[in-house]
């Protein structure tokens, strides 16, 4: 349940459109619903402004479907992340309302329009095409959070002129999320170009000495550009939520 629905329910009780018992029935599972294999948090939207998200990795398709049904019962929209194609086929077959985006490895239930958060989009930058799964996870999460996205893809430091030709994008966006693997140098470059927040996401893209993204992570944490903040390896979802928190504070 989100703040708007809670307010609507209380107003219905106030004007006699709903009884106290009706309200109690709707609120009785508000803290969380115990499904046995999962304790589904229905209170998160009230605390944080965004509902609980289902992390699909490690869960069975049946568990994902059960959790999604419970979340959708109390809130209009649901996001599932890290959902591989085989598991997605099972989940969609059991729950056809799920919409799957394979590149992002996300699935959504969208029963209501998504309320927009702010007026300025986030610039979503990727160093290379191999970073797109992480970038698109970020993009889908931002979309479900009501944040617009301007994509600037395949502009890594191996051809810096590609990035410099996109400087106008950074002038009309509020936050920059930079997704990069290999040595992870791109966030430092962008951090030296823009005044707003820069959120860096290292990816596990690269040859052996990249150590599955650890080299990019270390490079981003050691950035010479002041104020660049860094998420975990391949965590496009976390970067999107961080950007939304920043925007929520601005508006």
Question: Going edge to edge, which strands form the sheet with 122-126?
Answer: 149-152, 122-126, 175-180, 198-202, 229-230
Sequence spans of domains, the chain: 31-110, 122-250
Q: Are 240 and 147 in contact (CB under 8 A)?
A: yes
pLDDT in tens, 53-101: 899 999 999 999 999 998 888 777 899 999 999 999 999 999 999 999 9
Q: Are 167 and 193 in contact (CB under 8 A)?
A: yes
Q: Report the C-alpha gap between 19 and 17 in whole angstroms.
A: 7
pLDDT (0 to 100) of residue 11: 79
Give me the CATH topology for the region 122-250: Rossmann fold (3.40.50)
Which residue in this structure is represented by tokens 């002041």?
226
pLDDT at 29 over 60: no
pLDDT at 4 over 70: no
pLDDT in tens, 191-219: 999 999 999 999 999 999 999 999 999 99
pLDDT (0 to 100) of residue 1: 54
More confident call, 230 vs 251: 230
Which residue in this structure is represented by tokens 């459109």?
17
pLDDT in tens, 163-178: 988 889 998 999 999 9
Q: Report the C-alpha gap between 213 and 236 in whole angstroms.
A: 13
pLDDT at 122 over 70: yes
- The burial class, CB within 10 Å (0-12 / 13-18 / 19+), for 136 is buried
pLDDT (0 to 100) of residue 17: 79
Q: Report the C-alpha gap between 240 and 202 in whole angstroms.
A: 14
Burial 3-33 (b: 16+ CB within 10 A, else e): eebbeebeeeeeeeebeeeeeeebeebeeeb
Q: How are the residues of the chain apportioned to helix, strand and coil, as percentages rounded to the nearest 5?
A: 45, 15, 40
Q: What element of type H or E holds 151?
A: strand 149-152
């Amino acid at each position: 349940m989100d703040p708007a629905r809670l307010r609507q329910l209380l107003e219905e009780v106030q004007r006699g459109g709903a009884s106290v018992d009706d309200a109690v029935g709707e609120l009785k599972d508000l803290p969380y619903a115990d499904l046995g294999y999962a304790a589904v948090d229905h209170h998160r939207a009230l605390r944080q402004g965004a509902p609980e998200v289902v992390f699909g990795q490690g869960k069975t398709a049946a568990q994902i479907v059960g959790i999604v049904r419970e979340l959708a019962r109390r809130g209009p929209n649901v996001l599932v992340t890290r959902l591989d194609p085989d598991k997605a086929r099972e989940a969609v077959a059991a729950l056809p309302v799920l919409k799957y985006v394979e590149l992002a490895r996300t699935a959504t239930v969208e029963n209501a329009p998504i309320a927009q958060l702010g007026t300025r989009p986030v610039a979503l930058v990727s160093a290379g095409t191999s970073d797109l799964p992480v970038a698109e996870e970020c993009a889908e999460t931002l979309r479900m959070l009501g944040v617009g996205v301007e994509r600037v893809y395949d502009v890594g430091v191996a051809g810096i002129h590609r990035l410099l030709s996109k400087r106008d994008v950074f002038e009309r966006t509020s936050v920059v999320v930079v997704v990069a693997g290999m040595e992870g140098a791109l966030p430092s470059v962008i951090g030296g170009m823009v005044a707003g927040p820069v959120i860096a996401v290292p990816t596990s893209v690269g040859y052996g000495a990249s150590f599955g993204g650890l080299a990019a992570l270390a490079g981003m944490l050691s950035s010479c550009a002041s104020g660049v903040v860094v998420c975990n390896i391949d965590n496009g979802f976390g970067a999107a939520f961080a950007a939304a928190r920043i925007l929520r504070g601005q508006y």
